[in-house]
Amino acid sequence: MCDLKQDFPPLVNDTLLRAARGDDVERIPVWVMRQAGRYLPEFRALRAEHNFFKICQTPELVAEVTLQPIRRYDLDAAIIFSDILVVPQALGMVVEMKPGVGPVLPEPLSSPSDIEKLKFPVDVKEKLGYVFEGITLTRHKLEGKVPLIGFSGAPWTLMCYMIEGGGSKTMSKAKNWLYQHPNSSHELLKILTDVTVDYLVEQVIAGAQLLQVFESNAEYLAREQFEEFSIPYFKTISEQVKKQLEKRGVESVPMTIFAKGAHHSLKKLGNIGFDIVGLDWTMIPNEARNQVGPHITLQGNLDPCALYGSKEAIKKLTHEMLSAFGKSRYIANLGHGIYPDVDPEHLKVFIDTIHEYKWST
């Protein structure tokens, strides 16, 4: 790999990073979870020619897909094109992306003894080097226009896919482990945490300017399980990523935790070393603010289905969202990833409405 890492172009629009730090911003920064992907015709055209993971593994294609929404919209950040399931792949599991179905792991972990089959420890530079190359190349191709976000799945969410073998309505197989095999569950979650820390550290070294951890499956856990099987690993991730970066002489970057459905634990989420807490659309902005405290930047949270409404309705709901969050310590986003059947023009209305909003002083 050639050393592309030096001399990244200077960042022109740093609004997102300033909002992450709690500095004043002249306009609210906005990016959208899953902003590069299936709702965009230009992504579908490229996807028709290439296997999903082939795209993830090819830095030029990663850069191209990451840039597609940046060309189309006035976004304040890019998120690297990849998937959370590259981590189970790095651990030796087979993951396929089936059109119309989603991810399928044909040989899931069916009992705790299967943990031994995982190829651990993982040399992330060897197994996931393609992600880091994609990040470095994308940083160059972005030409400093907006910051680049790196990401990973959180351990519990990854554990779900590895045990369920794909998506699930109940996560009952993965939850079975929490009740039947708590020690083995912790063993697996610890393995996933170790890989995730190394993976996120290398993403920053490769050029990621903010990191988001997706705990999309938090909503399946009651508070007690969330406190036992999810929160402690968030803490380890934020502490270890920052510590290892310091050791490597690299400046740390803001970190976001998005724990979908974790209403019961917003207070704790404000206290685990993450700088930004992402909210889903069922969470209420001022209640979340009271819970997480004033030192956290909030991100979210329009219902992704609101983009099915008329343009006028989208504007109205977006205005309501903005006035509910207020201008400081806030990053606008949807409350979960954008759906594939959304009209791309409707996303434009959401983004432009955020930027055009007139704050009364």
Q: Which of 253, 337, 258 is nearest to 292 (CA)?
A: 258
**Size of site (CB under 6 A) for ligand 1CP:** 22
- Placement of tokens 């790095």 in the chain: 90
Rounded Cα gap, residues 156 and 229, in angstroms: 7
3-state secondary structure of 89: helix
Q: Is 352 a catalytic residue?
A: no
Within 337-356, the residues that bind ligand 1CP by CB under 6 A are: 337
Rounded Cα gap, residues 342 and 356, in angstroms: 22
Q: Cβ 49 to ligand 1CP, closest distance in Å?
A: 12
Active-site option among 14, 76, 83, 275: 83
Q: What is the 3-state secondary structure (H, E, C) of 252-308?
A: CCCEEEEECCCHHHHHHHCCCCCCEEECCCCCCHHHHHHHHCCCCEEEEEECHHHHH
Torsion of CA 305, 20, 151, 156, to 10 degrees: -80
End-to-end CA separation in angstroms for the chain: 51
Residue 259 dihedral angles phi and psi, to the nearest 5°? -115, 95
Cβ proximity to ligand 1CP, 85 vs 189, nearer residue: 85
Cβ proximity to ligand 1CP, 165 vs 285, nearer residue: 165
Choice from 83, 133, 194, 202 touching ligand 1CP (CB under 6 A): 83
Q: Is 3 a catalytic residue?
A: no
Q: Cβ 294 to ligand 1CP, closest distance in Å?
A: 28
Tokens encoding 293: 């405290």
Choice from 103, 207, 270, 278 touching ligand 1CP (CB under 6 A): 103
Question: Mask: binding to ligand 1CP, 138-157, rule CB under 6 A, as x and -?
Answer: -------------x------
Cβ proximity to ligand 1CP, 33 vs 192, nearer residue: 33
Half-sphere exposure of 26 (CA within 13 A, CB side): 2
Contact window for ligand 1CP (CB under 6 A) among 78-86, 88-96, 113-121, 289-297:
78-86
Cβ proximity to ligand 1CP, 63 vs 289, nearer residue: 63
Tell me which long-range contacts 245-250 makes (C-beta under 8 A, separation of at least 24): 245/201, 245/204, 245/205, 248/201, 248/205, 250/204, 250/205
Within 17-36, the residues that bind ligand 1CP by CB under 6 A are: 33-36
Q: Specify burial of residue 195 (Cβ count, 10 A radius: 0-12, 13-18, 19+).
A: buried
Q: Is 38 a catalytic residue?
A: yes
Cβ proximity to ligand 1CP, 85 vs 272, nearer residue: 85
Contact window for ligand 1CP (CB under 6 A) among 77-85, 174-182, 231-239, 300-308:
77-85
Site for ligand 1CP contains 81 (CB under 6 A): yes
Q: Specify burial of residue 345 (Cβ count, 10 A radius: 0-12, 13-18, 19+).
A: exposed
Q: Cβ 146 to ligand 1CP, closest distance in Å?
A: 13
Residue nearest to ligand 1CP (CB): 167
Q: Cβ 64 to ligand 1CP, closest distance in Å?
A: 13
Omega prior to 290 cis, within 30 of 0 = no
Rounded Cα gap, residues 80 and 64, in angstroms: 10
Site for ligand 1CP contains 256 (CB under 6 A): no
Cβ proximity to ligand 1CP, 108 vs 289, nearer residue: 108
Site for ligand 1CP contains 37 (CB under 6 A): yes
Q: Is 27 a catalytic residue?
A: no
Q: Is 161 a catalytic residue?
A: yes
Torsion of CA 152, 154, 160, 161, to 10 degrees: 0
Residues that bind ligand 1CP (CB under 6 A): 33-38, 47, 52, 79, 81, 83-85, 97, 99, 102-103, 151, 167, 214, 216, 337
The catalytic residues are 34, 38, 47, 83, 161
